[in-house]
């Protein structure tokens, strides 16, 4: 188990959806991450770093910039952990063109299982991307199970890079269309799934992303109180506008407490 305590500082982020077509968000996230990591000892990125990930040969200036930053942070002594999300579940799964040169090797990050328990200043805390808790969306859960299978992934990665990118784009368009026919609660976590995860892992705290509904929740169940932090998604418009506000932020955890950093901080009640 990963144990964090004493003078350690852990920083958490998720749902950045980096892509070359959104340079504003990429610049903001990379700057924010570099600044927040100035005194960090541990960095946890809990899925959906990228808008899509079709294999470890994925090209792009934004890909290279993030890989370079994570490599530098790892080289500077920060323990960097990366969890796969629903859009980048192929991170570090390899391709024939990059055999042996996967995402983890290029960044010197450690890949985390979903879920993972960490000891966070004495509190057993469950880290997960969050999509596994959205059990009301049966169609998505079926695709999630299929796309996480080694057979499906091996078959997909045998296609050319161009074919994989086109498939990812088609899949994203289909996903956006399907959202129009879904009830909002289908795309949020289900209370029974939260309670089941807490009971199964014996934890009192949980950190995840995925839902794009940043908050600090308190749950009461048969095993006691659970605090659940939902990390924000990131978006920075090229031109600031009141009707399109900047979104995003980090969660910083130290011996001094749990501190949301960034635009979402104003909407999170103090611990």
DSSP assignments along 103-170, one per residue: HHHHHTPEEEPSSEEEEETTEEEEE--SGGG-TT-HHHHHHHHHHTSHHHHHHHHTS-HHHHHHHHHH
Give the pLDDT score at 255: 97
User: Is 79 in a helix, a strand, or coil?
Assistant: strand
**Of 131 and 172, more confident:** 131
Give the pLDDT score at 224: 86
CB atoms within 10 A of CB 233: 20
107: pLDDT strictly greater than 90? yes
271: pLDDT strictly greater than 60? no
To which residue do tokens 């003078």 refer?
7
**Of 267 and 238, more confident:** 267
Domain boundaries, the chain: 2-267
86: pLDDT strictly greater than 60? yes
- Neighbour-count burial of 226, counting CB atoms closer than 10 A to its CB (0-12 exposed, 13-18 middle, 19+ buried): buried
Give the pLDDT score at 171: 85
Residue range 164-200, pLDDT digits in tens: 999 999 988 887 676 655 666 667 899 999 999 999 9
Range in 38-47, 68-77, 87-96, 131-140 the model is least confident about: 87-96
User: Is 11 in a helix, a strand, or coil?
Assistant: strand
CATH topology of domain 2-267: Purple Acid Phosphatase; chain A, domain 2 (3.60.21)
Give me the helix-helix angle, 61-75 and 23-36, nearest 10°: 0
Range in 16-20, 53-57, 178-182, 250-254 the model is least confident about: 178-182
In angstroms, what CA-CA distances link 177 with 50, 137, 171, 174, 255? 20, 15, 10, 5, 44
User: CA 22, CA 14: separation in Å to the nearest integer?
Assistant: 16
Residue 93 corresponds to which tokens in the numbers above?
């799964």
DSSP letter, residue 238: S
Q: What is the pTM of this model?
A: 0.93
13: pLDDT strictly greater than 70? yes
Strands 215-221 and 257-261: unpaired
Give yes or no for a contact between 259 and 253, defined as CB atoms under 8 angstroms apart: yes
Residue range 187-233, pLDDT digits in tens: 789 999 999 999 999 999 999 999 999 999 999 877 889 999 999 99
User: CA 40, CA 21: separation in Å to the nearest integer?
Assistant: 30
Give the pLDDT score at 109: 97
């Amino acid at each position: 188990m990963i144990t964090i305590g004493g003078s350690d500082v852990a920083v958490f982020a998720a749902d950045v959806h980096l892509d070359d077509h959104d340079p504003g968000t990429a610049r903001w996230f990379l700057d924010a991450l570099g600044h927040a990591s100035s005194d960090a000892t541990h960095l946890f990125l809990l899925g959906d770093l990228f808008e899509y990930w079709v294999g470890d040969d994925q090209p792009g200036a934004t890909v290279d910039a993030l890989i370079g930053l994570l490599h530098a942070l790892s080289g500077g002594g920060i323990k960097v952990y990366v969890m796969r999300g629903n859009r980048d579940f192929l991170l570090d799964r390899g391709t024939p063109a990059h055999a042996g040169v996967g995402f983890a090797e290029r960044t010197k990050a450690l890949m985390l299982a979903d879920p993972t328990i960490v000891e966070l200043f004495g509190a057993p805390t469950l880290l997960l991307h969050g999509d596994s808790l959205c059990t009301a969306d049966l169609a998505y859960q079926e695709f999630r199970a299929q796309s996480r299978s080694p057979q499906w992934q091996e078959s997909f990665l045998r296609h050319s890079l161009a074919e994989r990118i086109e498939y990812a784009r088609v899949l994203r368009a289909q996903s956006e269309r399907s959202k129009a026919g879904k009830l909002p609660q289908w795309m949020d976590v289900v209370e029974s799934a939260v309670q089941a995860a807490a009971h199964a892992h014996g934890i009192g705290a949980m950190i995840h992303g995925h839902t794009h509904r940043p908050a600090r929740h308190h749950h009461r169940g048969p095993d006691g109180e659970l605090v659940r932090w939902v990390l924000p998604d990131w978006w920075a418009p090229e031109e600031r506008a009141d009707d399109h506000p900047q979104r995003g932020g980090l969660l910083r955890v130290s011996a001094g407490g749990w501190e949301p950093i960034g635009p979402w901080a104003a909407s999170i009640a103090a611990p």
